Amino acid sequence: MKNKNHISKLRIKLYQEKLERLKRKSASKKRLQNIANNKRVSSIRETKHKNESLFNQPKEATVSSKSDFTLLDFPENVLSFIKMVDEVTKKKKYKTIFFDISQVTSIDIGSIGLLLSKINELSTVGIKVKGNFPENAPCKKIICESGFLSHMNDMKGRRFNYLRGESNLMVSRGFDRTSNVLVGSAIRKAVKHLTGVDESYRPLYSLAQEMCANSVEHANEHHHSKNWLFSVTYKNADTVCFTMTDIGRGILGTLKRKASQIIKEVLLSDDKDILGRAFDKQYTSKTKDINRNKGLPKIKSIADNNFINNFVVITNNVLLDFSNNNNSKLLNKKFDGTFYYWELNKKCIETWKIRKSQ
């Protein structure tokens, strides 16, 4: 009898130990999954369709993003994804690239705009782009309301029926003049949203025109790379956010410097300082265009006079924050293009009107 009780107790103990092992294994697996999501590395995966032979090249490549996918907070994550797309494109063996953003847990209008600009660029060289939505519901909502889907088709070639935010807008143009009407109308709507008055706002219109014209006319010698995207997002009742995304060479790639300047910069400066000086008009253009880079000081002046808020520029390997220089930094990923972000509120408009009346 004692032996039976002993065996029963032993079995119970073994069963309990087994349960504990399973619990620990499950917890460990979940912990590793969380780490993988947080430190997810952008990656490329090739897909071969069923009707392809083993000897044919794969027709589709999948590029996966990291979970933190906000351009303003985690620029290296977003630029790493874009760099991976560029590497796939250079191989010239894929007809389709699949953008896998399913594991994204944070996203912003900057990264969405950069994705759309890259999709526009790929379309000009005959590469189709497919993709999915984030499993994270708030991130999916941001994409749907941003205006991104207005430029996309579903797998059957039909326009998406997702409704964007009431006033959110993405103006996407590739290879022609700046769309004055669309940009001007977007600015008027933003001003009316903030002040209740239907009127334009000259500083913002000048800012947008400088950025868009610069992209269309000078972004890159290659015609297919000259494209820009202008977006408007209504953050809340008091703030409207704007972005301008330009796929090209980036500001640093267009600067012309004397040999003495280059030597001095190598010894005493970094790219962050050089970009700052470009906005102070200390350099000319490699294109020798008399108007080239003249817009940068104008843009800086608008920011310095507080006609806009939270002005940020990302170009090449630099993030420059004009509102808080402590946030400016060198990036470990290079962006062949320029991204601008700024915000507008009622105080900005009032500041301009007061200065105008003085």
pLDDT in tens, 89-146: 887 778 889 999 999 999 999 999 999 888 888 888 888 888 889 999 999 999 988 8
Largest CA distance in the chain: 104
Q: Which pLDDT belongs to residue 121?
A: 85
pLDDT surpassing 70 at residue 226: no
**337 contact partners, CB below 8 Å, separation of at least 6:** 117, 219, 245, 246, 247, 248, 249, 250, 315
pTM confidence score: 0.78
pLDDT surpasses 80 at 320:
yes
- Structure-token match 């330009």, residue found: 246
Summarize pLDDT for 285-308 with one digit per residue, the tens: 444 444 444 678 899 999 999 999
Taking residues 54-83, what's their average pLDDT?
86
Q: Is 237 a residue whose pLDDT tops 80? A: yes
pLDDT band, residue 222 (cuts 50/70/90): very low
Q: For residue 80, with 0-12 CB atoms within 10 Å meaning exposed, 13-18 middle and 19 or more buried, which class applies?
A: middle
Q: What are the Cα distances from residue 14, in Å, to 8, 9, 70, 73, 282?
A: 10, 9, 49, 50, 77
Q: Minimum mean pLDDT among 266-270, 276-280, 320-324: which range?
A: 266-270
Q: Give the chain's domains with CATH numbers.
A: 38-164 (3.30.750.24), 166-358 (3.30.565.10)
Nearest to 110 by CA among 66, 67, 165, 148: 148
Residue 91: per-residue pLDDT: 79
219 pLDDT tier (thresholds 50, 70, 90): very low
- The pLDDT of residue 257 is 53
CA torsion, ordered 22, 23, 28, 30, to nearest 10 deg: 110
The pLDDT of residue 52 is above 80: no
**337, 246 contact by CB (below 8 A):** yes
Amino acid at 71: L
- Specify the range with the lowest mean pLDDT, choosing from 18-22, 125-129, 133-137, 182-186: 18-22
**What is the percent of the chain where pLDDT is above 90?**
34
- pLDDT tier at 279 (50, 70, 90 boundaries)? confident
Q: Are strands 60-64 and 96-100 parallel, antiparallel or unpaired?
A: parallel
SS3 label, residue 297: helix
The pLDDT, as a whole number, for residue 292 is 47
> What is the percent of the chain where pLDDT is above 70?
67
- Name the token pair of 18: 């087994």
Of the two residues 36 and 156, the one the predictor is more confident about is 156
Where residue 47 falls among pLDDT bands split at 50, 70, 90? low
Does 28 have pLDDT greater than 80?
Answer: no
pLDDT average, residue stretch 184-192: 90
Task: Record the tokens describing residue 27, joined without a space.
Answer: 């917890």
| Residue 35 scores a pLDDT above 60 | no
Residue 152 or residue 193, greater confidence: 193
Residue 35 CB contacts under 8 Å (≥ 6 apart), including other chains: none
Looking at residue 260, its pLDDT comes to 43
Tell me the average pLDDT across 200-214: 82
Higher local confidence (pLDDT), 33 or 205 = 205
Whether the CA torsion 118, 120, 126, 132 is positive or negative: it is: positive
Average confidence (pLDDT) over 269-281: 84
- Of residues 115 and 14, more confidence is placed in 115
Q: How far is CA 129 from CA 49, 96, 120, 124, in A?
A: 16, 6, 10, 12
Q: Which of 237, 247, 234 is nearest to 187 (CA)?
A: 234
pLDDT band at 218 (very low <50, low <70, confident <90, very high): very low
